[in-house]
Amino acid sequence: MRMTVIGCGYLGAVHAASMAELGHDVVGIDVDEAKIAALASGLPPFFEPGLPELLDRALATGRLRFTTDYAEARGNAVHFVAVGTPQQPGALAADLKYVHAAADALAPVLTPGDLVVGKSTVPVGTARALAARLEGTGAVVAWNPEFLREGFAIEDTLHPDRLVYGLPDEPDSRDLVRATLDEVYAATIADGTPVVATDLETAELVKSAANAFLATKISFINAMAEVCEAAGADVTQLADAIGHDARIGRRFLNAGLGFGGGCLPKDIRAFMARAGELGADQALTFLREVDQINMRRRSRAVDLAREALGGSVLGRKIAVLGLAFKPDSDDVRDSPALNVAAQLALQGASVLCHDPRAIENSRRRFPELSYVATIAEAVRDADAVMVLTEWNDYRELDPVLLAEQVAQPIVIDGRNCLDSAAWRAAGWRYRALGRPREALVPAFA
Give binding residues as ranges: 30, 35, 85, 121, 147-150, 207, 252-256, 260, 266, 326, 333
DSSP H helical segments within 332-395, as ranges? 336-346, 359-365, 375-379, 392-395
Footprint (CB under 6 A) of ligand UDX, residues 263-322: 263-264
Q: Which of residues 142-181 bind ligand UDX (CB under 6 A)?
A: 147-150
**Between 114 and 291, whose beta carbon lies closer to ligand UDX?**
291
Query: Is 263 part of the annotated catalytic residue set?
Result: yes
Q: How many residues bind ligand UDX (CB under 6 A)?
A: 19
> Is residue 256 within the footprint of ligand UDX (CB under 6 A)?
yes
Q: Please count the other Cβ atoms lying within 10 Å of the Cβ belonging to residue 328.
A: 20
Min separation Cβ 222 and ligand UDX, Å:
7
**Cα distance between residue 88 and residue 379, in whole Å:** 38
**Segment 190 to 249, residues that bind ligand UDX, using CB under 6 A:** 211, 214, 218
CB 425 within 8 Å of CB 314? no
Per the annotation, binding residues for NAD(+) are: 30, 35, 85, 121, 150, 266, 333
If residue 223 lies in a helix (H) or strand (E), which one and from where to where?
helix 200-231
Q: Tell me: does residue 409 bind ligand UDX (CB under 6 A).
A: no
- Give every strand in the sheet of 78-81, ordered side by side: 64-67, 25-29, 2-6, 78-81, 115-118, 140-143, 163-167, 195-199
Instruction: Enumerate residues 6+ apart whose C-beta is below 8 A from 98.
Output: 7, 83, 84, 85, 120
Q: How far is the CB of 145 from ligand UDX (least distance, A)?
A: 8
- 363 part of the interface to ligand UDX, by CB under 6 A: no
Report the residue number, 48 or 383, with the smaller CB distance to ligand UDX: 48
Asked if 198 and 181 count as a contact pair (C-beta separation under 8 A), the reply is no
The answer to whether residue 46 forms part of the interface with ligand UDX (CB under 6 A) is: no
State how far the alpha carbon of 222 is from the alpha carbons of 27, 275, 298, 398, in Å: 43, 25, 11, 28
Shortest Cβ distance from residue 305 to ligand UDX (Å)?
19
Q: Does 258 help bind ligand UDX (rule: CB under 6 A)?
A: yes
Helix (H), strand (E), coil (C) string for 248-310: CCCCCCCCCCCCCCCCHHHHHHHHHHHHHHCCCHHHHHHHHHHHHHHHHHHHHHHHHHHHHCC
| Segment lying near ligand UDX (by CB under 6 A), choices 79-87, 225-233, 256-264, 401-409 | 256-264
Q: 133 vs 250, which CB is nearer to ligand UDX? A: 250
Contact range with ligand UDX by CB under 6 A, out of 61-69, 132-140, 254-262, 269-277: 254-262
Which of helix, strand or coil describes residue 84? coil
CA distance 289 to 208: 17
Q: Which residues would be at the binding site for ligand UDX (CB under 6 A)?
A: 147-150, 211, 214, 218, 252-254, 256, 258-261, 263-264, 325-326
Which residues participate in catalysis according to the annotation? 263
